[in-house]
Amino acid sequence: MTDKRLPFTKDQLEAIAAKVPTPFHVYDEGAMRKNARAFYEAFSWVPGGFVNYYAVKALPNPYVLEVLKEEGLGGDCSSYAELVMCEAVGITGEKIVFTSNDTPAEDYQKAAELGAIINLDDISHIAFLEKTLGGKLPEMLCFRYNPGPLKEGNAIIGKPEEAKYGFTREQLFEGYRLLRDKGVKRFGLHTMVASNELNADYFVETAQMLFDLVVELNRALGIRFEFLNLGGGIGIPYRPEQTAVDLAAVGQRIKAAYEKTIVANGLGPIRIAMECGRMITGPYGYLVSRVLHKKAIYKNYLGLDACMANLMRPGMYGSYHHITVPGKESAPKKVYDVTGSLCENNDKFAIDREIADAAIGDLVVIHDTGAHGHAMGFNYNGKLRSAEVLWQGDGKFKVIRRAETLNDLFGTLDYPGLRR
């Protein structure tokens, strides 16, 4: 099996660990910037400009959002807190798309206050939004389309017809007719039908599906669309043998579909957007931990000071995350279950994994934690969420979130003896 390389040395990680106790997540700023620029270059052909609305849920840290904002990214938000975080770093107006389901009124109010593009999840939300905003709908509205059996999902997101999200095809026509009759003049269309998908064909087919639908809606209702959000879901190569999606090739194939369908029907220019989160930051995050214990019973176990509370994906989804022991890349290997300390048997980062035979006290790095890593952390067993660090290269780094303390954990409990 091929291996994965780290952007820092063992000594550089130890220098961070001397100031930020393990476990912690560290993110490679330079690599994130380079990746964002490549994404924009792949869609530089889009009339009116391309925007990737970074899925804030993937890595909700304002210091990271600030970096991505500097590279032209907007924010894809699904909650009040995510809206506030975008506002704090200066991502406002139509650089936000707000896509939510079972949405509280105050979330819609905040999105409207910021001038975000509101992307409705259900036809009943038209009336709910209108009432919430005092009887007046926003200038622009967007609907999320769920194609049901017309489009296959993938292993992570499941079948569209079994998902709770979006409008049916029939509801789209009814909903846009209702908006038109209520005086809405600006229209968008969105779908999201895959997650962590590495097959480039999937994204081209999704774009073609939306382009065809825009032509049909225009012919039926006489409305013109100015905004198409193709969704996110571009995957990353978690396994060393996997290959990243060729963004430039996807961009050119979607361009050909756009010209064949949108331009040929006289419906351009239409702005194209996506809402990738994992693909932007996922490969450039690392969970740095240290070996606490080694155990040999029916299997060999390597016990870390990190646990499922720091990275839920392997325990929750059975997901693969590559593991490196810095400084021992060429050392003899041994098969381990790599575990944490939760009182749950699924608290495992790897099962029957051949890795370098680490010693107690060695650093262990778990790759590809820059999306849905720290963000999915929790406090079960009283575990405290870890620090986050921004790696700036040449030995420079910045702590962008301190580790939690017991005072943080007990902060909402008014009970004597718990304050430290």
In this predicted structure, what is the pLDDT of residue 268?
Answer: 84
Catalytic, 307? Answer: no
Cα distance between residue 363 and residue 14, in whole Å = 8
Structural tokens at position 325: 């022991």
In this predicted structure, what is the pLDDT of residue 418?
Answer: 86
In this predicted structure, what is the pLDDT of residue 258?
Answer: 97
Shared domain check, 111 and 240: yes
Shared domain check, 328 and 350: yes
Cα distance between residue 68 and residue 88, in whole Å = 14
In this predicted structure, what is the pLDDT of residue 161?
Answer: 59
Shared domain check, 164 and 52: yes
Q: What does the pLDDT profile of the chain (420 residues) look like in tens digits? A: 478 999 999 999 999 999 999 999 999 999 999 999 999 999 999 998 999 999 999 999 999 999 999 999 999 999 999 999 999 999 999 999 999 999 999 999 999 999 999 999 999 999 999 999 999 999 999 999 998 765 555 454 556 655 657 899 999 999 999 999 999 999 999 998 888 999 999 999 999 999 999 999 999 999 999 999 999 999 999 999 999 999 999 999 999 999 999 999 999 899 999 999 999 999 999 999 999 999 999 999 999 999 999 999 999 999 999 999 999 999 999 999 999 999 999 999 999 999 999 999 999 999 999 999 999 999 999 999 999 999 999 999 999 999 999 999 999 999 988 876
User: Which domain does 380 fall in, by range?
Assistant: 10-25+283-410
Class of residue 134 by CB neighbours under 10 A (exposed 0-12, middle 13-18, buried 19+):
exposed
Amino acid at 34: K
Shared domain check, 370 and 354: yes
Cα distance between residue 30 and residue 111, in whole Å = 31
Shared domain check, 84 and 228: yes
In this predicted structure, what is the pLDDT of residue 156?
Answer: 47
Which of 86, 276, 307, 343 does the annotation list as catalytic?
343
Shared domain check, 49 and 21: no
In this predicted structure, what is the pLDDT of residue 166?
Answer: 85
Q: How many domains does the chain have?
A: 2
Shared domain check, 95 and 54: yes
Has residue 325 been placed in a domain?
yes
Has residue 3 been placed in a domain?
no
Residue that is last in its domain, among 249, 276, 303: 276
Q: CATH code at 124?
A: 3.20.20.10
Residue that is last in its domain, among 259, 276, 293: 276
Structural tokens at position 230: 């193709």
Residue that is last in its domain, among 276, 296, 314: 276
User: Does residue 148 contact residue 170 with C-beta atoms inside 8 Å?
Assistant: no
